[in-house]
Structure 1
Amino acid sequence: MARLFRWMIRLTYAVVFLGVGTIALIYYFASRSLPDYDGTRNVTGISAPVEIVRNNANVPHIFGETDEDVFFALGYAHAQDRLWQMTMLRRTAQGRLSELFGERTLGIDEVMRRYDFYTLAVASFAVQDETTKATLRAYASGVNAWLDEVNAGARGRGAPEMWLFNHPVAPWQPADSLVILKLMAMQFSSHLESEVLRARTSLVIGNERLADILPDDPGQGVAALPEYAQLVPNVPTYTASIRPADDLLAPFKRPELAGASNAWAADASRSASGATLLANDPHLGLTAPSIWYLARLELASGGVIGGTIPGMPLVLSGRGDSIGWGLTSAYVDDQDIYIEELNPDNPNEYRGVNGWVPFETRDSIITVKDGPAVTLRLRWTVNGPVMPADQFNLGTITPPGHVTSIAWSALSDQDTSMSAALAIMRARTVNEVLRAGEGYIAPAQNLTIADRNRIALKTLGALPARDPAHQSQGRLPSFGYLAQNRWQGRFPYSDNPEFTNPEGGIIGNTNNKTIDRPFPMHVSHRWGDTQRINRWRRLMQAREVHTRDSFIEAQLDTVSFTARTLSTLMGADLWFTGDAAPEGTPERQRQIALDLLSAWNGEMNEHLPEPLIYAAWARAFQQRLIRDELGPLTAEFTHPDPVFIERVFRNIDGAGIWCDVIQSALVETCTDIARQSLDDALLWIQENHGDAVEAVRWGDAHVATHDHPVLGNTPILNWIVNIRQSTSGGDNTLQRGKTSGTGDAPFQNVHAAGYRGVYDFADPDSSVFITSTGQSGHPLSRYYDDLGELWRRGEYIPMSLDPDLARAAAVGVTVLVPAGP
């Protein structure tokens, strides 16, 4: 027995030693890919020494003798910190994720191959101006210089993820940067899925109530359109969703999680300092690391600093010494779905305007890890690529004997958006920026601009020219063989909405409707915001003049105009009514909740219970309103629509009929539904957050989920790579934290401002910015999440172009020196 005990002790020590050794070995190999920010590197591809000074937040300040050398160094710095992220963006756009992840990503690759983004990007390189071509080549050379260093110096394959998904990294090419810009267009675009949802809903309830559940944004109405079943007959009524579950690696998102943003500017007359101000916070899905990367470039045209996306040589939102610019999603209706009739005698042909036309076809092979390769037959019509029925729920709106094709401005092989964006970055005045934007195609963006004297807002991107006789005005899928349904080129750039030096001295956009023009000059039928704009307007007009700090205050504002409106409507007949109820009963819980909400100002503060009560109530209320009419299609309406709920309560155009449950014999009122849905909400809160409704916290439900797209679901590793934070804000606050709307945690914050910047041209170096995680993509780096807590608390870091400040707080200085012959 004693001998057995001794052997058990020895075995235990051996297991512990082996475990510790394994962990140490893993840490050693993973840490090998941590870059050293100090030292001199001999590289090929630059004309003179370049200096990369990293300040104490690891923001690289890059100084070189030529612009090409500076962009070379930016590519080098991006690759040092975000190589894995860059390769994933490239693989996603190329449709090559399945080489690493197997069948999990096969659906994503199929979509990307059918869009054929990479072929379009390669072709688009030829139409860039010479300066842009030189920039793209220099940037690619910088990325490849780091790859060479990784390969030559055994630098842990460049990123710890490479050990788990070992696959050669191809050299970076100029087209790789162009295709990432197209990938951004996919993240910002949602009109395709909106058309599908509108068509599906029309098939279920017809057009009579369609304006309620899918309301137009307030403004001039749209002329009545035919029902989808009338427009495209013989579509089977099928409402169950066939779309696969959301994947963090997928670039296409549900419409409610498409791109969003805030931007506003004040001219000298509305600024306390007598100089212009600008604030911008673009919204994208939260990830770890953030998609954003802060950088400063010293160019021949002057210094620029702001937010970049690794993989592209662009400061997308930022400032120079005398000008700043910010982006918001423009929601331009730049996607259309076409129903293409197949030739019954030859499935390789589709109906054209003048008869049967052959598809443009070619095969594309997808390599699948641990599985057989998949060969896709890619088909294009004159309208665009053909998408299969199992993508985007297209099969639910396609009649037999037909397929669907997609028209989209991003599907251009003559796309000069990169040239335009680089010209904007080098511009010195508002007028120069406006001129530079003419070549921009996609993704459509509202560009807010401020130089030292002027402010402006301009919509960038191609506006499709549609025929006034278009059957559905681009709101529903339509037959592709009818000439009046096809695009007729694009409108001239001068027709894009533009606002310069407004009389009130303030300009801004929260993805709201910017212009009200009749079809076909309409820009869009569907916009991204009807709510935040109301709070923004009040904050801007509440002060005669603004400061940098008042712009920061507005950027971080968490008061919900929507919550104030909807809680008042839903509780109109419930406040302070009913008899006293004993503790623990549903009636008592309802009274407590109503008492809390009656004194609430709509602030979506993470420490308060009222935001959670309101959010759960509004969600439950909409579910009760629509589930009897829509059935399984109810699952597609994941977020309460404030305009819909207000229409119902105010009985606009008879919308109050939604409150009556059509399957029941009783005639329910909106007060009945409000009371029942509040009970639903309180029951959900009790089951998920505890019995004491007055003690729950919004922040416990509204957790920001910065997840690693690849390792975020891996046990143990997810504790290292994922970042979780209790956050304020909500779906409709200026400090926007869009909730997931699905699953067991429907109020998780999954889509928010990954970048915030506020630029003050009275004292430009007092400008500030922040990102949601940190500069490094390496989980073992201290810069992986160091900015995240500042972001959560609403704090910023200095945004200075002063080289002495960067050097004084430098955590490393890398000097790139031209290699000898």
Structure 2
Amino acid sequence: RPFEYIVLRQTPRPWQVEDSVLVLASMFQLLQDEGRREATLATMRQTLPEPLFALLAVSGTRWDAPLDGSRLPDPPLPGPGVIDLRRTAAPAVGDGRLELPTPGSNNWAVAAFRTAGGAALLANDMHLPLGMPNIWFRTRLRLDEPAGDESALDVVGLGLPGTPVIAVGSNGHVAWGFTNAQVDTSDLVLLDLPADGGEDRYLTPGGWRAFEVVRERIDIAGEESIDFEYRRTIWGPVIGRDAEGRPRALRWVAHEPGALNLGLLDLEQARNVDQAIDIAHRTGIPAQNFLVVDEAGSIGWTLIGRLPRRIGFSGSLPESWSDGSRRWQGWLAEDEVPTVVNPPEGLLWTANNRVVGGTALARLGDGGYALGARARQIRDDLRAVERHDERSLLAIQLDARARLLEPWRELLLETAAGAVSDRQAAARLTEALADDPLEARPDSVAYRLVRGFRLLVIERVLRPLIAPCVEADPGFRAGDLRQIEGPVWRLLDQRPLHLLDPRYAQWDEVLEEALADLLGQVEKRGGLARFTWGQRNVVRVQHPFSRSLPWLSRWL
């Protein structure tokens, strides 16, 4: 028996088909947020003036690099007639979870006419959380049949333990890869309750309906079972209330019949880009950017996974569905899912970013697109080489330059020049920041300094603006605002006093305080020489048992 079963005093049971399905289903929880971002936006919309909400909740910035070249407009800064922090002090509340997590998967494809060897190339990095055991393992499936028999099979790629599919890989005719699409695959439904205050029923397009009460039993080895009870509606489970106390139900693709299937198996027999894209459009997995290349030199992008067709609303904010005018109506059809095949420049790229605009974006929605800086850097690296080969694609994968941080370095240098009175200290800081190019290397002091300065400034700029949100919802997550880099830079560029925290007399004080905080961290860590990115970015992968058995964690 594996040691985990010995520790738990359990006997392994034979693997069942439904276990494989559950493994695939668990990827929905890993890759999608189950309405969390929409709840964040709802709190903002309920507590902030509309112009301020529009500024902070943008879906795009100047760093965008979509495949269609689209640019989303910048909303205007709200004027002092809308909000003036100098006159109304922000509430003294918590920080609203200001950490800024960043998804990190990347992929790109190069058509045959842009490669040195005359064959299309595909690169893919799927950056899922590190854990023990690992999520992916390399697999080769080979089925030998008589020459010319189409059932012959030789597929190499990455498999997901417990499932029969090759998630990404190649069968010799096509090669394919994924990144999380970050499109909107869930909605929060506001529930209308009776006017008498009762909470035993809710309004539907067909009239009043009683909540379904569901009881689940969770068995625990050696202990009493736990009974879990929740209410369910025709749209999905009730998952809480908004800032105004109104209950909400979750409509989520993962709960829908047909959202999950084994269509990925058909990719093993695909012969070209067009066939692979057809398979992608009928496959049920969490929505992904799907890049594919074939032996003829073609390349293509589309979305793989089921996507809801929304009727009567955008899906960006919770709304009532009780009158039937707002609803889901099946899945998007194949011709409604955006697709790009053989673009003129022979390049395709995705990095969890917004990939399209216009009507296509309206259909897909925004499920929390990553800031476009990473996609932009990949795109620019691809365009900088006339003829690519495996080495040039590897160089892009290993590119540790932090182009997003270059403007922050300039701002830090400007701030230090005027705020650090000790000339020797200022000189040492300037020397440490002169690391060119700025890269996320383990030995880089400059990278850690600039990255830390950026986060400290964003925190000070953003906190007074979202204070009403945190006051209304202590669990408010500012980290769900993936595009906040854009609004923050617009504020730093224009420096409007009415949007400045009243603790400061002018914007320079924000930067100076952030610098002082940063230098305090440097001193606490033993000086600049020890303030490296490698000292901060320490990987520690441990077995799940290490949390329950801390005395064994060193060996797990």
Corresponding letter in the other structure for 2:500:
D
Q: How many angstroms does 1:349 deviate by?
A: 1.8
Pick closer, same or farther for the CA change 1:668–1:485 going to 2, 3 Å: farther
Aligned partner of 1:178 in structure 2 is 21
1:486 partnered with 2:327:
yes
Aligned partner of 2:404 in structure 1 is 562
Give 3-state SS (helix, strand or coil) of 1:622's partner.
helix
Unmatched runs of 5 consecutive residues or more in structure 1: 1-156, 225-236, 244-253, 390-394, 722-821
TM-score by length of structure 2 reads: 0.85
**Structure 1 residues 185-234: Cα deviation after superposition (integer angstroms, max 9, x where no partner):** 1211126111111122334433332234333213334999xxxxxxxxxx
Pick closer, same or farther for the CA change 1:436–1:405 going to 2, 3 Å: same
Pick closer, same or farther for the CA change 1:208–1:675 going to 2, 3 Å: same
Pick closer, same or farther for the CA change 1:273–1:349 going to 2, 3 Å: same
Corresponding letter in the other structure for 1:495:
E
Q: How many angstroms does 1:488 deviate by?
A: 2.3
- Spell out the pairing of 1:108-127 with structure 2 (5 A cutoff): none
Aligned partner of 1:628 in structure 2 is 464
Cα pair 1:199 1:476 within 8 Å, conserved: yes
Give 3-state SS (helix, strand or coil) of 1:705's partner.
coil
Q: Distance in 1 between matches of 2:453 and 2:293?
A: 41
Q: Distance in 1 between matches of 2:229 and 2:548?
A: 33
- Spell out the pairing of 1:380-779 with structure 2 (5 A cutoff): 380-387=232-239, 389=240, 395=241, 397=242, 399-400=244-245, 402-418=246-262, 420-453=263-296, 454-467=298-311, 469-470=312-313, 473-518=314-359, 521-525=362-366, 526-568=368-410, 570-571=411-412, 573-574=414-415, 576-577=417-418, 581=422, 588=425, 592-631=428-467, 632=470, 636-638=477-479, 641-651=484-494, 656-657=496-497, 660-662=500-502, 664=503, 667-669=505-507, 671-687=508-524, 689-690=525-526, 692-712=527-547, 714-721=549-556
Aligned partner of 1:335 in structure 2 is 186
* Aligned with 1:269 (options 113, 127, 137): 113
Q: Distance in 1 between matches of 2:166 and 2:92?
A: 45
Give 3-state SS (helix, strand or coil) of 2:140's partner.
strand
Unmatched runs of 5 consecutive residues or more in structure 2: 62-70, 77-90, 144-150
Q: How many angstroms does 1:634 deviate by?
A: 9.4
Pick closer, same or farther for the CA change 1:322–1:657 going to 2, 3 Å: farther
Q: Distance in 1 between matches of 2:93 and 2:75?
A: 26
Aligned partner of 2:41 in structure 1 is 198
Cα pair 1:194 1:255 within 8 Å, conserved: no
Pick closer, same or farther for the CA change 1:345–1:576 going to 2, 3 Å: closer
Q: How many angstroms does 1:164 deviate by?
A: 1.6
* Aligned with 1:292 (options 136, 142, 149): 136
Cα pair 1:212 1:647 within 8 Å, conserved: no
Pick closer, same or farther for the CA change 1:644–1:303 going to 2, 3 Å: same
Aligned partner of 1:353 in structure 2 is 205
Cα pair 1:446 1:458 within 8 Å, conserved: yes
Aligned partner of 1:281 in structure 2 is 125
Pick closer, same or farther for the CA change 1:342–1:636 going to 2, 3 Å: same
Give 3-state SS (helix, strand or coil) of 2:118's partner.
coil
Identity of aligned residues (%): 22
Pick closer, same or farther for the CA change 1:612–1:630 going to 2, 3 Å: same
Pick closer, same or farther for the CA change 1:357–1:598 going to 2, 3 Å: same
Aligned partner of 2:87 in structure 1 is none
Q: How many angstroms does 1:451 deviate by?
A: 0.9
Q: How many angstroms does 1:422 deviate by?
A: 0.8
Cα pair 1:440 1:462 within 8 Å, conserved: yes
Corresponding letter in the other structure for 2:24:
L
Cα pair 2:412 2:450 within 8 Å, conserved: no
Q: Distance in 1 between matches of 2:120 and 2:333?
A: 30
Q: How many angstroms does 1:432 deviate by?
A: 1.6
Cα pair 1:353 1:482 within 8 Å, conserved: yes
Give 3-state SS (helix, strand or coil) of 1:347's partner.
coil
Q: Distance in 2 between matches of 1:695 and 1:168?
A: 49
Q: Distance in 1 between matches of 2:380 and 2:100?
A: 25
Cα pair 1:189 1:259 within 8 Å, conserved: no
Cα pair 2:254 2:260 within 8 Å, conserved: no
Q: How many residue pairs end up in the alignment?
A: 516
Supply the RMSD in Å over aligned alpha carbons. 3.0
Give 3-state SS (helix, strand or coil) of 1:466's partner.
strand
**Structure 1 residues 523-564: Cα deviation after superposition (integer angstroms, max 9, x where no partner):** 123412311012111210111011101111111111112111
Q: Distance in 2 between matches of 1:600 and 1:363?
A: 60
Pick closer, same or farther for the CA change 1:239–1:679 going to 2, 3 Å: closer
Q: Distance in 1 between matches of 2:75 and 2:326?
A: 17
Corresponding letter in the other structure for 1:536:
I
Q: How many angstroms does 1:461 deviate by?
A: 2.0
Give 3-state SS (helix, strand or coil) of 1:208's partner.
helix
Cα pair 2:153 2:268 within 8 Å, conserved: no
Q: How many angstroms does 1:594 deviate by?
A: 3.8
Which deviates more from structure 2 when the two are superposed, residues 482-491 or residues 495-504?
482-491
Pick closer, same or farther for the CA change 1:261–1:180 going to 2, 3 Å: same
Q: Distance in 1 between matches of 2:220 and 2:413?
A: 57
Give 3-state SS (helix, strand or coil) of 1:543's partner.
coil
Give 3-state SS (helix, strand or coil) of 2:401's partner.
coil
Corresponding letter in the other structure for 2:158:
G
Q: Distance in 2 between matches of 1:264 and 1:160?
A: 41
Q: Distance in 2 between matches of 1:414 and 1:288?
A: 31
Corresponding letter in the other structure for 2:506:
E
Aligned partner of 1:161 in structure 2 is 4
Cα pair 2:201 2:211 within 8 Å, conserved: yes
Q: Distance in 2 between matches of 1:223 and 1:381?
A: 37
Cα pair 1:190 1:258 within 8 Å, conserved: no
Cα pair 1:465 1:520 within 8 Å, conserved: no
Corresponding letter in the other structure for 2:182:
Y
Q: How many angstroms does 1:713 deviate by?
A: 6.2
Corresponding letter in the other structure for 1:403:
P
Q: How many angstroms does 1:241 deviate by?
A: 10
1:322 partnered with 2:158:
no
**Structure 1 residues 156-208: Cα deviation after superposition (integer angstroms, max 9, x where no partner):** x2x11112222333322212211221210121112611111112233443333
Give 3-state SS (helix, strand or coil) of 2:192's partner.
strand
Q: Distance in 1 between matches of 2:74 and 2:421?
A: 49
- The structure whose Rg is larger is 1
**Which protein, 1 or 2, shows the higher relative CO under an 8 Å CA cutoff with sep ≥ 6?**
2
Corresponding letter in the other structure for 1:677:
A
Q: Distance in 2 between matches of 1:448 and 1:613?
A: 36
Q: Distance in 2 between matches of 1:460 and 1:336?
A: 20
Q: Distance in 2 between matches of 1:599 and 1:259?
A: 26
Give 3-state SS (helix, strand or coil) of 2:141's partner.
strand
Pick closer, same or farther for the CA change 1:215–1:338 going to 2, 3 Å: same
